[in-house]
Structure 1
Amino acid sequence: MMPCDGDEYIIREWLVYELYNLLTPQSFRARLVQTTLIDDKTQKQRGPFYGILLEEEKQMAKRNGMQPLERKLKPTLIQKDAFLRMAVFEYLIGNTDWSVQYLQNIKLLVADSTANPIAVPYDFDHAGVVDAPYAKPASALEMRSVRQRRYRGYCVADLNTFEPVIAQFQQLKSDIYRMFTNCPFLDAKYIKSMVDYLDEFYATIDDPKVWQKAFAYPCDPNGTGHVVIKGLKEN
């Protein structure tokens, strides 16, 4: 991945991959690198600038004893615990630019022909934690900005199903904060804004009434939980 609008946004997106690695090995590994480009004809240099070396899909699948699945599926067919973990993570980082139905910034892994697939997210440049200047939520979602959180999973009737997922995020709270506060590549102003942003997330999941309302949003017939994203367009 090469920078689209500045090194700071590449660094922020790289951190998102690192965050998801905390939650599960069924995630892409990413390495932050500094690169200089040299024009073969003129020998002029561009850079140095930061980029991300992203693990290949087949490598990630093999590391997890699985294989890629290239098929568009309903999210209800994805392994539920893995889906909820992924969807709550997308909520944490403020990312709505994904869908299982269209494989929008989602890769699927499967252990064998009898197992439900696992959804693995990638490409987080439209996430609120990255806050790229070009990033905007799909208009159909009726959101103010990418910094606004919106749960994008499907309707789950039994909200108690979320409790193990919430417990994992609570268990990793200190580690998640340290990913930002201990990162030497981030400036103090951004770190402060991320601490505040994380505080908002944890204030939500620490209050059952608040997180139940947030994660039940797809069940609201008057909301935009039915909107499916395909390249930031309404479908």
Structure 2
Amino acid sequence: MKRKIDQVIENNATLANSGSSLLLNPLTAPIMKSFSTLVICLLVSCAAFAAPLEDAPKGGNSLFDRWAKQETLSISLYINMDSLEINRSSADFLPATVLAGGEELALEVAVRGRFRRRTCEMPPMKLKFAKAGLRALGLNTHNDFKLVTHCTSDEAGRDALLREQLAYELYGTINPAASFRTQLLSVTYVNTADGTTEENVAILIEDYDELQDRLALDNCKDCYNATADEITNAEEVALFQYMIGNADYCNTMLRNLKLMTNEAGEKTLVPYDFDFSGLVNADYASVDAQFGQTDVTDRLLKWSFAADCDLTAATAKFLAHQDTLLAQVENYPGLKKASKREITKYLKGFFRELAKGTIAPAK
């Protein structure tokens, strides 16, 4: 049996090095009970990348829709982790296989991000699923996802991932019509180079094209330096970033923000990447010294627009959601009681400021 496993892994490595699009499944080979089953699986894997990749209609359920039905979904990701580590600084994709809910899907994986790809034990990843494999499951072809991985393998790393997922869900409560959907995953990473495994939580962020289709919005190209009066939710996003203590974004250069537009030309911001926020309070997070921040929990209202920051409407909206947001923290599954207490105290401090009307843009 070991010879079979070694042969499959060797074939995968040979194909990856040769640039072939064929993916031999590293998971299925060791557990095959018959030659016919092996042949079927090989044919499915070959078809996944050999089939034409022209876009099919994007209607119907997506892979994200299917996976989002569970609170936490368990998947196994089979990839040559040694090669992934070597490719930390490149954009090259590597062949991989995902097993989820008894279904196998061929995909390609690449390292993404800036800070975390250089410093974290497990680099953040791009997941690009084979469209033919999605079609075979009756799904649409939204196939590009971001995977937010753990930075450290200890309890602190797991806690930081859960806190970041909570931040996404909190903004989803504030503005469900302009937020990324995310799904918490329990991932078993299987290194096809030596068979070793590692398990941790991760966050799956929906395909950006799917976000656009779902919200009936388009990516706003060449929209740098948009004015506040052009953006429907500029104050709301700024106040949310203040609430969670996040200074790691830029309105003018659209860092960690997507700017989208509808047919009428109205623009909407969609924030993401909250790991440097005070709510997450990750060990590796750094401060924005330019604005005098000395601790990541220090709040800054960053407002780079020429127009004055009028928080009247946004304040009313956040106060109306106060009980709901605090209940989300209290009822969040998997988060330690100590973390819930810390986050609740942090958010209550925000709401006290909000009620007093003392929040103003940082200078």
Common topology (TM > 0.5): yes
Query: What is the letter of the counterpart of residue 239 of structure 2?
Result: V
Checking the alignment, whether the CA contact within 8 Å between 2:217 and 2:260 is kept in structure 1 is yes
Q: Distance in 2 between matches of 1:111 and 1:99?
A: 22
User: What one-letter code is carried by the residue in structure 1 that aligns with 2:178?
Assistant: Q
SS of the equivalent of 1:89 reads helix
| Residues 92-171 of structure 1 mapped to structure 2, 5 A cutoff | 92-112=243-263, 114-154=264-304, 161-171=310-320
More contact order relative to length (CA 8 Å, sep ≥ 6): 1
Instruction: Name the residue aligned to 1:74.
Output: 225
Distance 1:193 1:21 in 2: 21
Post-superposition offset of 1:59? 0.9
**Aligned-partner Cα distance in 2 for 1:158–1:104:** 21
Distance 1:33 1:46 in 2: 14
- Matches of 2:337 and 2:190, distance apart in 1: 33
How high is the TM-score relative to the length of structure 1?
0.84
Question: What does the per-residue CA deviation read over 1:74-126, in whole Å, with 9 as the maximum and x for residues that have no partner?
Answer: 252564441111110000000000012222101111113x5132111101100
**Relative to structure 1, is the Cα distance of residues 135 and 199 closer, same or farther in structure 2, using a 3 angstrom cutoff?**
same
Greater per-residue strand proportion: 2
CA gap of 1:185–1:172, structure 2 versus 1, over 3 A, is same
Are the counterparts in 1 of residues 251 and 303 from structure 2 also a CA contact under 8 Å? no
Instruction: Identify which range, 102-111 or 89-98, moves more after superposition.
Output: 102-111
Count residues with an aligned counterpart.
211
What's the TM-score once normalised by structure 2's chain length? 0.55
Residue of structure 2 aligned with 1:2, choices 149, 168, 181: 149
Would you say the 8 A contact 2:168–2:182 is kept in 1? yes
5+ residue gaps in structure 2? 1-147
Residue of structure 1 in register with 2:338 after alignment: 189
In the TM superposition, what is the alpha-carbon distance from 1:44 to its structure 2 partner? 1.0
Residues of 2 paired with 1:104 and 1:37: CA distance? 30
Q: What is the deviation of 1:185?
A: 1.1
Contact 2:237-2:271 at 8 Å conserved across structures: yes
Deviations 1:26-57 (A, max 9, x none): 1000000100011112111111x000010111
Alpha-carbon contact 2:223-2:259 (below 8 Å) kept: no
C-alpha separation in 2, matches of 1:37 and 1:155: 44
Q: Alignment partner for residue 28 of structure 1, among 169, 180, 186?
A: 180
Bigger mean CA offset, 62-71 vs 125-134: 62-71
Q: Share of identical aligned residues, percent?
A: 25
Measure, in 2, the Cα distance between the counterparts of 1:17 and 1:95: 12
- 2:266 match: secondary structure: coil
Q: Are 1:53 and 2:204 counterparts? A: yes
For 1:94, the aligned partner's letter is: G
Corresponding residue of 1:198: 347
Partners of 1:192 and 1:156 lie apart in 2 by: 38
